[in-house]
Amino acid sequence: MDKKQAQERIIELRNLTEYHAKRYYDDDDPEISDFEYDMLMVELRNLEKEYPEFIDKDSLTQKVGGKVKEGFKKVEHEVPLQSLQDVFNFEDVEDFCIKVEEQAVKNNIESLKFVVETKIDGLSSALEYKQGKFVRGATRGNGQVGEDVTENLKTVKTIPMELKEKIDITVRGEVFISKADFEKLNNEREKKGEELFANSRNAAAGSLRQLDSNITKSRPLDIYIFNVQKIEGKEFNSHFEELEYLDKLGFNVNPVRIPCKNVDEVIKAIKKIGEERESLTFGIDGAVVKVDNLHLREILGTTAKTPKWAVAYKYPPEKKETTLKDIVCNVGRTGVITPMAILEPVQVAGSTISKTTLHNEDFIKDKDLKIGDTVVIQKAGDVIPEVVEAVIDKRTGEEKEFNMPKVCPVCGAPAVREEGEAAIRCTGIECPAKLYRNLVHFVSREAMNIDGLGENIIGQLLDNGLISNIADIYALKFEDIASLKKNGTKFAQNLVDSIEASKSNELYRLITALGIRHVGSKASKTLAKKFKTIDNLAKADFETLSQIDDIGPIVANSIREFFMQEQTKDLIEKLKQAGVNTVDDSEENEDNRFEGMTFVLTGTLQNFTRGEATDIIENFGGKTSSSVSKKTTYVIAGEEAGSKLDKAEKLGVRVISEEEFENMIK
C-alpha cells in the first residue's frame, strides 16, 4: 500500500467508524457486531501509526464516540469518563504489563499489582453524591460532556439513594440488563410483535436514554460500580482498596475483580474469566486489566482518549456450524414480515440455539442463504445468535432457494416492499398480527384522542375477547369496561364518554388514525382540506394525489394501495355505521398571515404544546418542519433549546421567543 492508498483507506475507515459509532452510541441500533467494529478500529489505528502524518484529532482513535441526545441537559464531567485501549491477544497484554513494570522500577515502586475485572457490556454512567445523597447521574457521552439522566437512574433499584456515610463522592459504573432479564424482555417483545433488541447493551442504553423516565422504570436495569472518579476527605493507595470501600458504602460493585502480582497471573485471570463467562449472570465484552497502585497510575498518565494504566482484552466470538432446516416468516405489530431461521439445535457460547432472526430479504441474499445449507452461527454481543455465513463447500445441490411471501402469512393482504426500505410489510389494517399496534395508534392523542384507552386497557380488552378489530371500540358497553377494574364505574363512564366524543372528531384525525404509511397528522390535514370526505379520498387517483403539496408520488402510492384494500373498505364502512365522522365541514381560514413561511420548534414551550403551536401555524397558512435549513423562516426557541438553535444561528435563520410568537398570532 503506497502513501496515497493509505490516506484514502484512512479516510474511508474514519467515515466507517464514525457511522458505526453513531449507530452504536447515539442511536443504540448497531448494524455490525462489536468484533467487526473493533477490527475496523484496529486497522485504522495501525495505519495511523504507520502514517502519523495523517493522524487527525477528530479520528475516533483520538477521541471518545458519542454525543448528547437532544432533550437532555448537558453535564460536564469534572473527571473525564475515558474509554479503554482494546487488545486482542496475550502478546499485547504482555507488552502492556512490561511497560508498566518498567515505569514501576524507574520510579522505585516495589508493590506492583494489577486488578483484572470483567468488562461489563452496558452503558457507562457517572453517579454524584453530596453528603451521601444521590444528586445527579449522567451518561458518558463523549467522555467530557454527557447527558443528565438523574431521574432515569433513580428508577434503577440497585443504585442507593443514600450512602452509609455522609461523603461527597462521584463514582463510575456500567448500567446493564442481566442475561435472564434480557431474554425475558425480548420474549415479551416477540409476543407483542415488537422489534427485538439486538443485544443487552443496546437494550440498556436505549432504556436509560429515554426522555420519559416511566419507560426506563419499566425496563429491568441494573448497575455495577467499578471506579471512584472523585472523592472528598479520603485517600486511597490502591484501586482494590477503593472497590472494597465502595462495597461498604452500599454500592453494587463489580463482583469479578481478581488481584494479580505479575503478567502470568494477569493472563491466567483473563483465561479464567473467559472460561466462566457463560456462567455469569450478566453479559461481558472483555476483561479489563488495571494497574492497582494509584500513585503509579498518576505517573503513567493518560492520552486524550484512554488511560495508559489500563487495557481491555476482547474475547473472540465463538462460532459453530449447524444446518439451516427452514425459514419461516413472522408478522410483527408494525406489519413488518421478518424471516426466521429454524436451525438444527447447536450449543454456542453456553446456550442451545434453535432459531434466530434473518432480519430481511437483503440479509438472506447478501449471505446467499438457502434452506438446507450448513451455516456458521455466532452470538453477537454474547446474547443474540446470528447467522454469519453459509458454508458453500458443503452444499449438496439439494438446498432450496427462499423467497419472501407476496401476501401476509397471517391475513392474506398484499405484502409490499417500498422503495428505499429493506422491510416487507403487511398492508392489511385488520390483520390480527397488527391489531394491538393499530389500536394503540388509532386511539392515541394525535389520532382519535380517546382518553383512558391506553396500552394496558387495550391489552385487557383483547385478552378478554371484548374487541377483535378497530371498529369494536365503538361497540364497547359500559359493563364490559367496568369489569376491567376494581370499582371501575367512574373509569368506565369516563371512557364511554371519551369514545362517544371521538365520533365527532375532525376528519384529519380519522385519516391519521388509519395509520396509512407515510401519512402523519400534517399530511392528514392537507388531505382532509383537499377532499372533504373519506369517500372522496378513497376514490382519489394517483395523479391527483401526487400533485398535492406535501404528498408526492411515494405517499400517493401508499394512499392508493391502502384504500384499494378490502380490509380498509370494510373498516371504514363499520366506522360509518358506528357514527364516526367522515366529513370535513370546517370553513377555510381567510387569514393566511404565515403563507410561504416555514417554522421549526425547539425546546419546551410554556403556553403551548408542540401540537397546538403547529396547528396555529398551519391554520394561518404556514408550515412546520423538524429540521433547520436556509429555507426556514423562523425558529421558535423554548426553554432548553437544543442543536436546532445552534444550527439556526450558524445559518443566520431568525430565532424568536415564545412571547414573540404569541405577538405574531394576536
* Degrees to nearest 5, angle at CA 505 with 535 and 585: 55
Q: What are phi and psi of 584, to 5 degrees?
A: -105, 105
Sign of CA dihedral 97, 100, 106, 111: negative
Q: How many CA atoms lie within 13 A of 282 on its CB side?
A: 22
Please report, to the nearest 10 degrees, the dihedral formed by the alpha carbons of residues 626, 632, 634, 639 taken in order.
Answer: 30
Distance CA 493, CA 347 (A): 55
Phi/psi of residue 29, each to 5°? -145, 70
Q: Are 25 and 83 in contact (CB under 8 A)?
A: no
Give backbone dihedrals phi and psi of 426, rounded to 5 degrees, phi first: -75, 135
Pick the catalytic residue: 4, 22, 49, 119?
Answer: 119
Q: Report the sign of the C-alpha dihedral through residues 379, 384, 385, 389, in that order.
A: negative
Cβ-proximal residues to 452 (8 Å cutoff; 6+ apart), any chain: 491, 494, 495, 498
CA distance 476 to 498: 12
Between helices 200-208 and 179-191, what is the axis angle to 10°? 80
Cα separation, 345 vs 322, whole angstroms: 7
Give dist(CA 506, CA 206) in Å, integer: 35
Alpha carbon distance 318, 447 (integer Å): 48
Q: Is 119 a catalytic residue?
A: yes
Helix (H, G, I), strand (E, B) or coil at 209: coil
How far is the C-alpha of 150 from the C-alpha of 172, rounded, in Å? 14
Beta strands, E only, 244-318: 257-260, 284-291, 310-313
Strand extents, DSSP E, 546-633:
598-602, 623-625
**What whole-number distance in Å separates Cα of residue 299 and Cα of residue 297?**
5
Give the distance, in angstroms, between the CA of residue 158 and the centroid of all CA atoms in the same chain: 23
- Tell me how far apart the alpha carbons of residues 158 and 137 are, in angstroms, rounded to a whole number: 14
37 burial type by CB count under 10 A (0-12 exposed, 13-18 middle, 19+ buried): buried
SS (H, E, C) 228-247: EEEECCCCCCEHHHHHHHHH
Give the whole-angstrom CA distance, residue 503 versus residue 450: 10
Query: What ranges in 111-154 are assigned the alpha helix state H?
Result: 150-153
- Under a CB-based contact definition with an 8 Å cutoff, are residues 139 and 216 in contact? no
Can you tell me which residue has the cell 456515610?
A: 165
Three-state secondary structure call for residue 183: helix
- The residues annotated as belonging to the active site are 119
